[in-house]
Structure 1
Amino acid sequence: MHSRHTLTSSERSRLLPFVVASGEISPRDQRDLMERPFFSLSKTKRTTPILYATGDVRVEVFGMPEHGMATIWDADVLIWAASQIVEAENLGLTTSRFLRFTPYQLLTGIGRQTGARDYALLRAALARLQSTVVATTIRNGQNWRRHQFSWITEWEIRTGRNGRAAGVEIVIPEWLYRGVIDRSLVLAIDPAYFRLTGGIERWLYRVARKHAGRQSAGWVFEIAHLHRKSGSLARAADFAFDIRRIAARQPLPGYCLRVEHDGGRELLRIRPIGDLSTHAVDKTVSPIGTSGVRSIGTLGVPLSGLQACKTQLSLWPETAIPALNLSNLESNSYVDGPGRSADNASHPSIAPSRGRGDGP
């Protein structure tokens, strides 16, 4: 039995499968996805497009009426897939845009439970990832060129005789795959990210990881600018209220948040704290009330119970692909002292920038 969802003729017939066989690994995120408004921050269905433009950077995201736009929780699937690809390349394995894995591997890898409801939620997430249409100029060279794709070009869930999901096959787009195998475009993230429950705080952690990195001075953003960058449908005042609420709770792993004021501007300072477990770049190969906006700060999926489960990789004859398969500075704020962006952690200093738009 199987459930098949394709938009075009099967790419899987033309791609070698990358069969995921690794256990617990360090999660990695793709830089371009960490700061741009690629996902809905709400769990309620969103069909209102995201239309973001600054300088020569364009991001347009469209959700279909049937499923709605892919959410920042759905993006966990992409983070997990990227992490598996990076880990496999570190081990000298050939990777592919065509991934095979078990639902249990994915769900436990992103801190989800593995009950029937969670498998149903996974199906819904895959449907949103496939039906969401993204158009962007990021990584398309000096001349503006629209690159359009879906987060998953096709997917299939194989089921056993008892009807339980046993295996998953997905194909990710070339744009995302190339952004993962280029190690300069990948950052390790704290596994505690998956425990963040609110859409804004999840997005904010990714922005913090991308920009603040390990620099002691941290990074400062105008909250009004963060609102524009997030793609949130919340009113600017409600978004700012949510930022204050998050800063009061301090939920971001490895980072401290502080709201400041500079004249008439409300700012958010993000500083690294403690000994961050994440690395700047993977260098080997290849009492505040709640907001009135109900779509922000919704609860996430509870942590996994890590139930014992036999793997299902025997569904496919292959166990792995045997052969070896052989940036950007886009700050959206300013640093008000000596420091450097996370993109330039290896340099001793970078001159502070106070531009309100995105840098080159």
Structure 2
Amino acid sequence: MTPCMPRLFMSNAFFALGKGRRHAPLRFRQGSQNILVSSPMALATIWDADILIWATSTMIAAQRCGAPIPTVLQATRYEILGFPGRCVSGGYYERLPDGLERLSRTNVVMSASEWTDEQTGAPWIEDWRISAGFVQIRLAGWVREAVLTPRAVLALDPAYFTLTSGLERLLYLIARRHAGRQRDGWVFEVAHLHRKTGITQTLTAFVAILRRIARSNPLPGYRIELSDLNWPERVRLKPALDASVDKSVDIPVDNFVRTRLSTSESTPIACENHR
């Protein structure tokens, strides 16, 4: 099953980039929408978002199979935690409920006007439970709509899950969303990219981080080019077209091969994606 994610969530920091507890909300503008991400506890992290990537990939697999998409997604803890390709240990099992709770308590407000105190937003997950070794997840309606809107989802390189830095993960998502496989990639003003990441470090510190990432080149299938090493005004996110990239990334999600699937209202999806 190829990992994929809605384009809507790949242009800005919808998630906290650190593994610590971030309480400060994220505020940014995306297109014509003002977006506020907040939580009464701690914001969902970009590692918690792996659960949403699993859910998105599962729903897209069902859609491509021509099967009904269940309202409640169900799988074992091992299937969800193992989807990113990590070695699943007891610690991951213990932390899964925390991630699910953060996703259910983090609220997103999308509004054409400025935010107000009366706007409470909607969570990523409406409900979840773990019973008899199975995890049941009901995505919020707005997330489900973002997943199932035609041509609204992009495939991700599975190597995305190997990135250990939250910022590197977000930079990959931004590159995948904007640069795609365009030979010349996509150019941002450095200050604009800094705002998109939502990080608390200064612009000067951000530039230093970009230089380090550009040197180490960790983003799967992409590289970072700075316009000036002394003080860059622009940064280019460019596909590494000659690199070894998981070829499933270049397959349009709408062209995934249909295979057999059995499912019901809250039955796990088990559709195998053959390449």
Bin for the TM-score computed over the shorter chain: 0.7 to 0.9
Partner of 1:151: 124
1:121-178 deviation digits (Å, cap 9, x = unpaired): 211111111111111138xxxxxxx79210111110114xxxxxx1101111111111
Q: Which consecutive residues of structure 1, in runs of 5 or more, have no partner in the other structure?
A: 1-24, 139-145, 160-165, 286-315, 322-360
Partner of 2:250: 279
Residues 29 and 83 in structure 1, CA contact (< 8 A), matched pair in contact too = yes
Alignment of 1:171-182 (within 5 A): 171-182=138-149
Residues 37 and 59 in structure 1, CA contact (< 8 A), matched pair in contact too = no
Residue 225 (1) aligns with residue 192 (2): yes
Residue 82 (1) aligns with residue 50 (2): no
- Structure 2 distance, partners of 1:319, 1:128, is 24
Residues 107 and 122 in structure 2, CA contact (< 8 A), matched pair in contact too = yes
Residue 198 (1) aligns with residue 147 (2): no
RMSD: 2.5
Counterpart selection for 1:41 from 7, 17, 27 = 17
Residue 102 (1) aligns with residue 69 (2): no
Residues 29 and 79 in structure 1, CA contact (< 8 A), matched pair in contact too = yes
Residue 169 (1) aligns with residue 136 (2): yes
Counterpart selection for 2:106 from 132, 156, 160 = 132
1:53-100 deviation digits (Å, cap 9, x = unpaired): 3562211011223xx100111111001100010011111111134111
Alignment of 1:205-244 (within 5 A): 205-244=172-211
- Structure 1 distance, partners of 2:100, 2:50, is 11
Residue 27 (1) aligns with residue 3 (2): yes
- Structure 2 distance, partners of 1:211, 1:34, is 9
Partner of 2:116: none
Q: Cα–Cα, structure 1 residues 269 and 124, in superposed 2: closer, same or farther, change >3 Å? A: same
Counterpart selection for 1:91 from 33, 54, 65 = 65
Q: Cα–Cα, structure 1 residues 237 and 63, in superposed 2: closer, same or farther, change >3 Å? A: farther
Counterpart selection for 1:258 from 222, 225, 243 = 225
Counterpart selection for 1:59 from 15, 35, 40 = 35
Read off the aligned partner of 1:191 and give its amino acid letter: P
Counterpart selection for 1:123 from 94, 97, 108 = 97
Task: Decide which structure has the larger Cα Rg and report it.
Answer: 1
- Structure 1 distance, partners of 2:22, 2:47, is 13
Q: Cα–Cα, structure 1 residues 107 and 54, in superposed 2: closer, same or farther, change >3 Å? A: closer
Read off the aligned partner of 2:218 and give its amino acid letter: P
1:36-63 deviation digits (Å, cap 9, x = unpaired): 2211111111110111135622110112
SS at match of 1:39: coil
Q: Cα–Cα, structure 1 residues 235 and 261, in superposed 2: closer, same or farther, change >3 Å? A: same
Q: Cα–Cα, structure 1 residues 55 and 180, in superposed 2: closer, same or farther, change >3 Å? A: closer
Q: Which consecutive residues of structure 2, in runs of 5 or more, have no partner in the other structure?
A: 113-118, 257-263, 270-275
Q: In the comparison of the two structures, how many residue pairs are matched? A: 253
Read off the aligned partner of 1:110 and give its amino acid letter: P
